[in-house]
Amino acid sequence: MIEILSIGDRVPAGKYRPFFRFAGALNFVRAPHRPGLGGPTLVCVIEESKGAGPLNIVVRGDLSAVMSLEVRKSQVLLGGSPFKIERRYDSALSLTRPVSPEALGNNLAAFEVALLKNAPAGSLAFLLKRETDETPPASYMAELARTLREGFERLLAGDMSGGARAIKGRGFGLTPGGDDLLAGFLLGLNALHAAFGLDVSKEVRTLRRASRSRNLFSEAFLRCAAEGRFFESAKVLASALFQGSDEEVRRACARLSAVGASSGADLSVGLLSALKLHASKLQKVSA
């Protein structure tokens, strides 16, 4: 028996076809309503352990026999069985209290320490450490690390376009680590807008344009991030960073770092970097 626990606020109505299945997740696509308008739409039907997200339909039960998906205005047909949509997961970051740049600065320091502790080997957390002088032997891994570091430094220098082009599509996994990092950076920029009303629209637009991907998973993820749409564990961390204690930040960081093999940690690197880039400027202004 299947039970639908939540449906993301960015899941559009339509008939979908199966696209890709992996452990605990069944991914569906829908062709664009009109060709050329935004490309195909991806929707992920996932087990509850993976958490809610803007494009996620979270279910409890056995997914193995599910082969079809149709989303209507107030109903989901999953494997032909109808389920009423009772409420949608709200993926926007809404902060209820005033935010202080100083508190954010302290929480970002706790976030960085926790991320370096929790990030799995092979994640992009190495970018947060200073580059060593040692020249690595010529290899695929060395070339990948060099390219990613170059792109990361360009992002930190404010070159959104050059940085994104050097990072996107690079790395291991179905959503390459570079794309996860860029999605995190976009979420960080949007979080700054939500918290301080900072005008980041130009940076978001430039980064989004330069990070467009032909990979359906990356593209869906990046599009949501550019629109400021958070999946659950990223939203919990962002809320903790702006309005929580350092202990809440550490817990939320550990939870996000456990998402995927390295996706959560890679996204965290981008989120942290975008916030750090602007937090120091905000602190100077408030002082």
Partner 1 sequence: MIIKGRIKTGEYFDSVTLMIVGRDISAMPGVQDAAVVMGTKENQAILKSSGLWLSEFESAGDTDLLFAVKAESEELAGKVMQGIDQQLKNVRNRADADEEYRPKSFEAALNALPGANVALISIAGRYAGEEAMKALKAGLHVMLFSDNV
The residues that touch partner 1, with contacts defined as CB under 8 A, are 5-6, 20, 22, 47-49, 60, 86, 120-122, 138-144, 147, 168-174, 176-178, 213-216, 218, 260-263
Which two structure tokens, joined as six digits, stand for 153? 């430094």
Minimum distance from residue 147 beta carbon to partner 1 (Å): 6
Give the residue with the Cβ less far from partner 1, 20 or 83: 20
Residue 129 CB: number of other CB atoms within 10 A?
Answer: 8
Q: Are 64 and 49 in contact (CB under 8 A)?
A: no
From the number of C-beta atoms within 10 Å of its C-beta (0-12, 13-18, 19+), residue 235 rates as buried
The closest alpha carbon to 212, from 165, 163, 170, belongs to 165
Comparing CA positions, the residue from 151, 218, 159 lying closest to residue 183 is: 218
In this structure, what token pair is assigned to residue 226? Answer: 């550019």
Contact 157, 138 (CB under 8 A): no
Nearest approach in angstroms of CB 106 to partner 1 is 27
Q: Which is nearer to partner 1, 101 or 260 (CB)?
A: 260
**Min dist. Cβ of residue 209 to partner 1 (A):** 16
Nearer to partner 1, 166 or 195 (CB): 166
In whole angstroms, the minimum distance from the beta carbon of 198 to partner 1 comes to: 30
Q: To the nearest whole angstrom, how small is the minimum distance from the Cβ of residue 211 to partner 1? A: 11
Q: 68 or 215, CB closer to partner 1?
A: 215
State whether residue 285 is helix, strand or coil.
helix
CB of 46 to partner 1, least distance (A): 13
Q: Which two tokens stand for residue 275?
A: 């916030």
List, in sequence order, the alpha helices (H) in 157-262.
160-167, 177-196, 201-210, 216-226, 232-243, 246-257
| Residue 271 or 279 with smaller CB distance to partner 1 | 271
Nearer to partner 1, 239 or 262 (CB): 262
Closer to partner 1 by CB, 171 or 228: give it. Answer: 171
Token couple for 43: 């929707």
Q: Report, in Å, the least distance between residue 52 CB and partner 1.
A: 10
In the chain, the N- to C-terminal Cα span, in Å, equals: 58
Q: In whole angstroms, what is the distance from residue 250 CA to residue 241 CA? A: 10
